Amino acid sequence: MQTNRYLLTAIKIGLGIILFAPLFVSNTMFFPFITAKNFLFRIIIEILLALWVILALRDRRYMPRRSLLLIFVAASVGVLILSTIFGVDPSRSFWSNFERMEGLLGYLHLFVYFLILISVNKTEKDWWRFFHVSFLSAILVGVYALFQLGGVFQIHQGGVRIDSTLGNATYLAVYMLFHVFLSLYYFLKTKNHLSQVAYGALVIFTAFILYETATRGAILGLIGGLFLFGLIFAITSREKKWRYFAFGVLALVIAISAGVYALRDSDFIQNNPTLGRLSNISAQGDDAQARFQIWGMSFEAFKERPILGWGPENFSVVFSKYFDPRLWSREPWFDRSHNVILDWLITGGVFGLVSYLGIFATSLWLLLKKYRERKISNLELSIFTGLLAGFLFQNIFVFDQLTSYLLFFAVLGYIYFLTQGESLEKPAPLVAPGTAQVFSAVAVVAIVISLYFFNIKPLLANFSLLSALEAANAGNFQAAQTNFKRAINLSPLGRREAREQYSHFASLIAGRSDIPEAIRVSSINDGIDQSKLEAEDSALDARSHLFLGSVYNAAGRKAEALAAFEKALELSPKKQQIIFIVAQFYLDAGEKDKAVELAKMGASLDPTYNEAQHNLIMLQISAGKDQDALAAIDNLIKNGKAGAERIKVWASLFVAQKKFDIAADLYKKVLETTPNDTQTRISLAASYYEAGKINLAIKEIEEAIRLNPSFKEQGEGFIKQLREGVKEVE
């Protein structure tokens, strides 16, 4: 029995350490805010798994009891297993990458975390200790954020939205969202006045930190969750003081919401980073429109694979195939739809979404059932209904990550405990002692193997990748090459990122004569080989083929580069970035008509994309389609979409093709709006000179001198050269 106590204590200490993962950041790692936390969590969970298996074999009380909530949690993991197997890229679905560290491997660790939580936290006191350790972690995270507000520590994302040790304001917001509700729960639960003061202060503190993140989804989730809590608590409370408290919460939520809305145009609201963001929420805003566009893409992709989806971590394939051209102004690649409903539809199809929503529905149904049976109070019903509703609402605009998962599964574990009640079983071994020893030994060996393949090797790969990048920046190219190759060979986790970084490195140094040829040649050859492997492994992802085309291009292998870029275009036919790359290759290969037609198609996908129009005009000029180019230029100028600098670029292209009359006309258009632009007058004079119109050239130089007397000496020198037939004016 004493051994069992030691095992149980060790497991609970391990669970407590996990709660401090949000504080763990390592600048010696690639993606330090993500990988450090996840590796800590995974290593501890795998060790705890071995200890838990041994404990459960020795005492059956530490096996989880059957529950509808447990069934839905297990079902969601089961769907993820199937969607990984039958998805479009099983390897990526299983391993994920360093930037996210989720995938099936991450979900399996979270499932084990949930199983251990519900198996060893058997009493209210166990859960009290667990959540109070989390409160301590939240206070430390919040104190770091206060130092950011005070300017002592930098905000990692820049700007004014604090992100603490989580490295992302959105992640910090949802982390604090959980702690607002949990601290409010214990504030209302305790009878001790001093404890009420402490919990009340914690409610205010965590809510303040959440507010300072300026994360709209989480703030609205908090407001909505508190409103729902207050409504349920008011309806179900029998004591007047609690009804008054609940009505007070409702009144506060309504007053704040109404006040912000009524004063939304005031300087006070607009100049406040948080209130300004809240008051400017609009379905017509750029951010909202971008979300709607991504959601539309996601729904189209869901219709293609509705049953089990595309598999975890495969949104990049969806993003390539269903790219909406209106997203040209956003970041070039998305790996999430930023909507939990659509993310689950993409990841696991209908079965995935049903299992996920079933977790919420089952939790609420069990809480209501136990409340009606008088097994739990209205406090548990109202607090956890409000928390789950607020969390689900904010997830409509973002996505989960480790720190939110840790608290989400902890709350689910507590709901499981509340609705199951304390176990009355007596200590008894699960299997015979001899069998338990054999299984225990197997568990220990399995965990050692797991630690090595799922953590130690990926950790070493992560260190190697960061070392490679640091060596490359320091000019130690041999060391960079060695570490890139080591990172690629060590583990599938992060291999894609290592290959991309290696091919980018190889492309950058390919043309540098100051680097030894042996390193340049071997790096570019290795970069090609690794990019080819990545293109084979991620055959449906346009991004992998883009990297392959880029490294081929750096090596001067134009035909193979074009083939890779064409494959990328086939996979993402509406992505303008790829369209114009391929069009330029066609132009360079002498296929001018083909290049222009493709560029026209790219520019027509979204007429508001001025850069696409600019690229089309440049291709038309280079292809000799002068009339088409001039018509497009006139249209842009007429609509106010062509600035002086753009017109000068187009004019310079005509100069390069010795079409000086056309260039002169364009320079004249520039001078219509910027008559004092001396350099443009010089360029116009040079065009006139090359066109044989020396008098007009001299006239423009004289006008430049008149408008800019400080140019007189230099201008008169130019005039003298022009009259002498010496071409020096440029």
Residue pair 480/515 in contact (Cβ under 8 Å)? The answer is no
Mean pLDDT of 303-307: 97
Rounded CA separation 21/402 (Å): 9
Mean pLDDT of 609-616: 89
Residue pair 590/543 in contact (Cβ under 8 Å)? The answer is no
Res 727 pLDDT > 80: no
Rounded CA separation 710/519 (Å): 52
Per-residue pLDDT tens digits for 670-720: 888 888 888 888 888 888 888 888 888 888 888 888 888 887 878 778 788
User: Of the candidates 717, 174, 544, which has an alpha carbon nearest to the alpha carbon of residue 394?
Assistant: 174
Q: 328: how many CB neighbours lie within 10 A of its CB? A: 19
Mean pLDDT of 384-389: 97
Any domain includes 533: no
Mean pLDDT of 491-502: 96
Q: Which range is least confidently modeled, 29-33, 211-215, 261-265, 527-531? A: 261-265
Res 1 pLDDT > 50: yes
Q: How many angstroms separate the Cα of 651 from the Cα of each of 106, 289, 324, 367, 454? A: 55, 36, 32, 72, 58
Please report the pLDDT score of residue 424 as a whole number.
66
Mean pLDDT of 245-257: 87
Q: Does pTM surpass 0.85?
A: yes
State the first-to-last Cα distance of the chain, in angstroms, to the nearest integer.
Answer: 92
Any domain includes 43: yes
Residue pair 222/155 in contact (Cβ under 8 Å)? The answer is no
Please report the pLDDT score of residue 726 as a whole number.
58
Last residue of a domain, one of 420, 447, 477: 420
Please report the pLDDT score of residue 347 as a whole number.
97
Q: In the numeric block, which tokens belong to residue 635?
A: 């249209």
Rounded CA separation 243/234 (Å): 5
Any domain includes 479: no
Beta-carbon contacts of residue 427 (< 8 Å; ≥ 6 apart):
1, 4, 59, 61
Rounded CA separation 495/354 (Å): 32
Please report the pLDDT score of residue 339 as a whole number.
92
Any domain includes 280: yes
Q: Which residues of 176-185 are buried (b: 16+ CB within 10 A; e: fewer)?
A: bbbbbbbbbb
Rounded CA separation 720/281 (Å): 63
Please report the pLDDT score of residue 690 as a whole number.
85
Band of residue 332 on the pLDDT scale cut at 50, 70, 90: confident
Per-residue pLDDT tens digits for 358-369: 999 999 999 999
Per the structure, the count of domains in the chain is 2
Residue pair 592/604 in contact (Cβ under 8 Å)? The answer is no
Please report the pLDDT score of residue 283 as a whole number.
64
Residue pair 215/390 in contact (Cβ under 8 Å)? The answer is no
Res 286 pLDDT > 80: no
Rounded CA separation 51/57 (Å): 10
Q: Which range is least confidently modeled, 261-275, 443-457, 536-550, 713-727? A: 713-727
Q: Tell me the CATH number at 705.
A: 1.25.40.10
H or E, element range at 248 = helix 240-262
Any domain includes 512: no
Last residue of a domain, one of 374, 391, 420: 420
Q: Express as a percent the part of the chain with pLDDT over 70.
A: 98
| Max Cα-Cα span within the chain | 110
Residue 83 vs residue 331, higher pLDDT: 83
Rounded CA separation 636/626 (Å): 15
Specify the amino acid at residue 634.
D
Residue pair 325/116 in contact (Cβ under 8 Å)? The answer is no
Q: In the numeric block, which tokens belong to residue 328?
A: 């040209």
Mean pLDDT of 452-458: 97
Mean pLDDT of 317-336: 88
Res 481 pLDDT > 60: yes
Q: Which residues of 193-222 are buried (b: 16+ CB within 10 A; e: fewer)?
A: eeeeebbeebbebbbebbbbbbbbbbbbbb
Q: What is the mean pLDDT of the chain?
A: 92
* DSSP symbol at 454: I
Please report the pLDDT score of residue 729 as a whole number.
47
Q: 133: how many CB neighbours lie within 10 A of its CB? A: 18
Q: In the numeric block, which tokens belong to residue 372?
A: 């009606």
Rounded CA separation 598/602 (Å): 6
Res 289 pLDDT > 90: no
Res 579 pLDDT > 50: yes
Last residue of a domain, one of 386, 420, 454: 420
Per-residue pLDDT tens digits for 180-221: 999 999 999 999 999 999 999 999 999 999 999 999 999 999
Res 383 pLDDT > 50: yes
Q: Which residues of 570-584 are buried (b: 16+ CB within 10 A; e: fewer)?
A: ebbebbbbbbbbbbb
Domain that residue 318 falls in: 2-420
Q: Express as a percent the part of the chain with pLDDT over 90.
A: 70
Any domain includes 129: yes
Q: In the numeric block, which tokens belong to residue 398?
A: 């973002």
Any domain includes 98: yes
DSSP secondary structure string, 584-625? HHHHHTT-HHHHHHHHHHHHHT-TT-HHHHHHHHHHHHHTT-
Any domain includes 539: no
